[in-house]
Structures are given as structure tokens and as C-alpha cells.
Amino acid sequence: MTRPALPISRRLFLAGLMSGVAGQALANPPVTSLRPIARGEDIKKRLLPDIEELVAKANLDGDVGFAVADTRTGDLLEALHPSTGLPPASVAKTITSLYALHHLGPDFRFETRVLATGPVKDGVLDGDLVLVGGGDPVLTTDDLGKLALRLKEEAGLREVTGRFLVWAGLLPSMREIDSLQPEQVSYNPAVSAMTLNFNRVHFEWEKTGGDYVVTMDAPAPGYRPDVTVARMRVEDRSAPIYTYSDAGGYDDWSVARGALGKGGARWLPVRKPELYAGDVFRTIMRSNGIVLEEPEVVETMPEGTELGRHESEPLEPILQDMLKYSTNLTAELVGLTATRVATGKVPESLAASAAELNLWAARSLSVEGIALVDHSGLGEASRVPPEALARALVRTRDRGLEPLLKDVYLRDRRGRPLYDSPVKIHAKTGTLNFVSGLAGFVTSEDGREMAFAIFTANTERRDALTEAERERPPGGHSWNLRARMLQYRLLERWSILYGEPQRQASK
């Protein structure tokens, strides 16, 4: 059934999908400072701590690598292990964005279509209705609602005599992005060309008397349809909190009664996205008086006449939201789509598509060592050398990435943002368990712009985590805070040390 809608917007969906936390690794190696400080420079510069001191104070017991370069000249200003490949986490999304902008263009739009395999006469479709996924990473329940209204009001559809089919063969389908993540985390959903609500289902529970009332639905501002292809059971146990099994036609979840309390809600990943989208669309169509059969997923796209379509917003704002909220599924879908367009064929897997991106980076950006295994950075095997990314940012300075990056602010010693700082930073953060990265552009008070990449990782500590610890690893939060403070101190250092380029050049 369709219940009253919740006041949930697309941006709220995005805000709930931040990257997870998972690994780190390197200890006090030699520093390369490529630009010495002149003797006569002001006290601010002479009092700057050296790199060894900054790294030691961060106490990250793992690897630290960075590179910073002048965007005008391309000169490398300062670096620490610039050629060592380290896990980029969600910083990888900057490379994916460049790849997508290059092959798709900023105005590219994703399309979700509905086809009829037979004629429509007097409102009756004598044939099958087909929902065709176009890889739209931001398709919502409300978008399907608008599509259903078009079928009713513009195409005049009233009845379907045949089947209801779903086709998603435009991109490869996978049950998850990364197999090492906890089963219940919503940032690791299935990947498919038929995507809805970031392939997440809303699980809500409320204690009534001695039992729980649970719901699984797909809420949006205009609709809140119940979902039948994802089901939840409350079981008498204390652990594990969640279990998942594939029940064939639906996702079968269970939750420990002892973990629920009085009530609450969370998003869970969808593992059957084609059936999920079909289930929601069928419910919405029924609310508009059009009854469909249960959805069937087909591997071959049926021939038919288009009855309606939904177009996404342009790629540029989609990428801006992806970079701001770090949505993994968006990164995978835009990366896969870019590979399909670039090669003219459907990529076999995320790894195969990422391999095409790596080749493109080497050839088009003239950088070595970028080795991604996916487009989001969620896969722990991805590696990126800091210098390669810093130079890539320099060489793509005019390709539209910087305006899409979010504002980052320097912090004081207590970690409070310095919103009034004259130093301007546009960057992408990245976080996995015991992995933290930051890359983008920093402009000093005097207007010198630099591109930078900072990676920190303790892969040994990350790899030692048990499956139960991966969602909230012991010590992970404090480690991440120390990594972030190191990033701020490096940015502060560079803005002071390498600012005032004209004055420095005259000395």
C-alpha cells in the first residue's frame, strides 16, 4: 500500500550516505622539501614546524604520503613519499569525476524509460509494459511517481493485459560494491542500471506493548510505498544485530530484538534493485488505477514503443552532490556509464571499468600509478600515489572539477572551523577504517593556488578488524581525528610557506 509521504528530499537521501570507515599505514620516512625557506622571511614562516614534527605529532602509526604543486607552473613544492601508492578512499571520486566529465560531458542526462511491446487502444495496452533502467544514480520514488502520471495522463494508459518487465542490461549488475563491507551498511548497496533511492530501503521499528511493529518502505516527499522485496524479522537474540539471506524473490533480513530499544529507523542496502524498483513502480501505478503483474527481470531488452521517460538532472550537479555527500553508488554508476560510452560496450565488472579509467588517466593525464579497483574508492585494494593525483589536478585545472568540490576550512588547535580564514580550500575528503585522504585545491591569502593530495593509512590495523568491528572500529574515530588535524596543519603550512609568490620570486 502507499502511506502518507514523509518530508524527505533527494538531498536528505544523499546526506545519509556518507562513506564508511576502514584502514591506514607508514612511519616517519624521509621528507622531500623542494623549496627552502629564505633567511629573511617573516617569523610566521620561521616558526613553522618541519614535516617530521607534524607527522610524528599526528601519531598515526602508519603510512603518510602527500604532494603539493603550483597550479600555474606545475612545480612540485613539497612532498613526502610522493610515488607511494596509498588507499585513496573516497578521494578516488575526484578521478571518477574527471573521467565522467571527459567522456559524458557536464550536460549528460540519464534516462529511465517505459516501453510498450504492443499497441495501446482506448487506454488498454495489449502487450507487456517494460521499465528500462538507464543507470540514473539519483532516481527517486517521486521520479517514478511522475513517470506513472505521464503514462496515465499523457499516454492515456488505463490497463495492461501482459506482463510487467524490468530490464537493466545497460550496465552490469552486482549484489554489492565491495564484498568486505558489513552486510547491513547502506553505503555498499547493489549496483545496477535500474537504481532507485540509491538502492536503499527504509527500515523503521516501534515497540508496541511487548512486541515490535516493523515497516520496510521507499519514502519520498510525494509517496511512501511499502516494499515487499525486502522483508525484516525481529528475532530473540543479542547478536549479531543483523543477518541477511537471499530468499530468491526478496531480501530476507533479521534483526536482534535486544538491539532495537523503543523505536528507530535506518537505511539498509537493497540487493535486488531491479525487483525493488519494479515493486515500488507497481505500487505507484496501482495508486493511479493501473494494475500491473508482479515484476519480472529480463536479460534481453524487449522491442517496443516508448510511452514515457524520466530524465535526470545534468551530470554536473549530480557530480557536485556525489563529491559533497560521497555517495558510492553514484560514483560507480557514472564511472560505469563513462566506460560504456568510451568503449562502446557494457563493462564486465567494476574492476574492468576501473581498469579503463586507470588507462585513461595514464594516457590522457600523463600520470603513473593510479590503480583503482572501482570508481568510489570503497574497495580497499585501490592505490593512488599522492604526486600522481596532485599532477592530475594541475593538468585538469580548466576541466570544471574545482567548482564541484566542497569548501573545506582550516581548523584551530581545538578542531573548530576557521570560517573567516583568508585561505580558500576546495577539496574531497576520503575515509575508510584507518584510512583518511584529502585532495583538491588550496589558495593562499595572497592568491597563489596549489593542488594537493594527502593520504594516510594503517592497513595492518584495518586488516586486523573482525567483521563485527568494521562498522564501528575500536579507535577508528580518534585515529581519523588525528589524520584530519594533520591535513589541516599541512594546508596551513603550505598556505604560509608557499604564499606570496611574487615576493618570493624577487628574493
pLDDT digits (tens, 9 = 90+) for 406-457: 999 999 988 899 999 999 999 999 999 999 999 999 999 999 999 999 999 9
Q: Which three cell numbers stand for residue 72?
A: 600555474
Please indicate whether residue 99 or residue 61 has the higher confidence score (pLDDT). 99
- Please give the DSSP secondary-structure letter assigned to residue 308: E
Q: pLDDT tens digits, residue range 107-145?
A: 999 999 999 999 999 999 999 999 999 999 999 999 999
Q: Predicted confidence band at 499 (pLDDT cuts at 50, 70, 90)? A: confident
pLDDT score, position 219 = 96
CA distances from 157 to 1, 125, 148, 222, 301 (A): 21, 7, 9, 21, 21
When mean pLDDT is compared across 11-20, 142-151, 155-164, the lowest value belongs to: 11-20
pLDDT score, position 11 = 52
Please indicate whether residue 3 or residue 168 has the higher confidence score (pLDDT). 168
Q: Predicted confidence band at 292 (pLDDT cuts at 50, 70, 90)? A: very high
Of all residues in the chain, what percent carry a pLDDT higher than 90?
85
pLDDT score, position 504 = 44
Q: Predicted confidence band at 7 (pLDDT cuts at 50, 70, 90)? A: very low
Q: What is the DSSP string of 33-52?
A: E-SPPPTT--HHHHTPPPHH
Domains of the chain are 18-106+315-500 (3.40.710.10), 110-312 (3.50.80.20)
- Please give the DSSP secondary-structure letter assigned to residue 14: H
- Cα separation, 278 vs 284, whole angstroms: 10
pLDDT score, position 6 = 45
Tell me the whole-structure pTM to 2 decimals. 0.90
- Cα separation, 51 vs 30, whole angstroms: 9
pLDDT score, position 1 = 53
Is 9 a residue whose pLDDT tops 80? no
Q: pLDDT tens digits, residue range 310-331?
A: 999 999 999 999 999 999 999 9
Q: pLDDT tens digits, residue range 386-403?
A: 999 999 999 999 999 999
What's the angle, vertex CA 282, arms to CA 276 and CA 288, rounded to 5? Answer: 145
- Identify the CA nearest to 287 among candidates 116, 123, 152, 139: 152
What's the angle, vertex CA 270, arms to CA 268 and CA 272, rounded to 5? Answer: 160
pLDDT score, position 3 = 54
- Are 346 and 352 in contact, with CB atoms under 8 Å apart? no
pLDDT score, position 500 = 63
- Identify the CA nearest to 284 among candidates 156, 144, 160, 163: 144
- Cα separation, 386 vs 144, whole angstroms: 42
Is 333 a residue whose pLDDT tops 80? yes
Report H helices in 43-193.
43-46, 51-58, 92-104, 141-153
Is 197 a residue whose pLDDT tops 50? yes
- Cα separation, 408 vs 3, whole angstroms: 40
222 forms bridges with which residues in the sheet?
Answer: none
- Cα separation, 397 vs 391, whole angstroms: 10
Q: Which three cell numbers stand for residue 230?
A: 525486502
Kindly give the pairing relationship between strand 32-33 and strand 76-80: antiparallel
CA distances from 112 to 9, 137, 292 (A): 20, 11, 18
- Cα separation, 191 vs 109, whole angstroms: 18
What does the mean pLDDT of the chain come to? 91
The tally of CA atoms less than 13 A away on the side-chain side of residue 177 is: 32
Q: Predicted confidence band at 238 (pLDDT cuts at 50, 70, 90)? A: confident
> For the residues 341-364, what does the mean pLDDT come to?
98
Q: Predicted confidence band at 379 (pLDDT cuts at 50, 70, 90)? A: very high
Is 14 a residue whose pLDDT tops 50? no
Is 342 a residue whose pLDDT tops 50? yes
Q: Predicted confidence band at 192 (pLDDT cuts at 50, 70, 90)? A: very high
pLDDT score, position 45 = 78
